[in-house]
Amino acid sequence: DSGVTQTPKHLITATGQRVTLRCSPRSGDLSVYWYQQSLDQGLQFLIQYYNGEERAKGNILERFSAQQFPDLHSELNLSSLELGDSALYFCASSGSTDTQYFGPGTRLTVL
């Protein structure tokens, strides 16, 4: 158990819908990262937050947004969903050592 929690574990929705994925980092970790894992793209970095501020951005679509709240939990919002957004979404957190510990992931299926 990495100490990073993600909810929900599974999410099934329809095209055009909007969903929110939630992540709680390990106790004391200020950085939160989001990654997408799909068969064709592999593991891709989406975005990083550090203590509430956006720190780095990867290939995150404009339809996707994220934020980190004062209690350090983070949410990833995915809107206008397309079939191709079906993937495993991971959250990770890190502290002073910069090692990223990953949560169990949220499997999103868009029908």
Partner 1 sequence: AQKVTQAQTEISVVEKEDVTLDCVYETRDTTYYLFWYKQPPSGELVFLIRRNSFDEQNEISGRYSWNFQKSTSSFNFTITASQVVDSAVYFCASNNGGTSYGKLTFGQGTILTVHP
Residue closer to partner 1 by CB (options 16, 28) is 28
CA distances for 91 relative to 62, 85, 109, angstroms: 19, 16, 17
CB of 103 to partner 1, least distance (A): 8
Assess contact for 38 and 18: CB atoms under 8 A.
Answer: no
Total of chain residues touching partner 1, rule CB under 8 A: 27
**Rounded distance between C-alpha atoms, residue 108 and residue 9, angstroms:** 9
N-terminal to C-terminal alpha carbon distance within the chain: 31
Query: Is residue 111 within the footprint of partner 1 (CB under 8 A)?
Result: no
Residue closer to partner 1 by CB (options 35, 64) is 35
Query: Is residue 56 within the footprint of partner 1 (CB under 8 A)?
Result: yes
Query: Is residue 77 within the footprint of partner 1 (CB under 8 A)?
Result: no
Residue type, 83: L
**Half-sphere exposure of 86 toward its Cβ, with a 13 Å CA cutoff?**
10
Single residue of 13, 26, 45, 75 touching partner 1 by CB under 8 A? 45
In the complex, which residues of this chain contact partner 1 (CB under 8 A)? 2, 31, 33, 35, 42-45, 48, 50, 55-56, 58, 88, 90, 92, 94, 97-105, 107
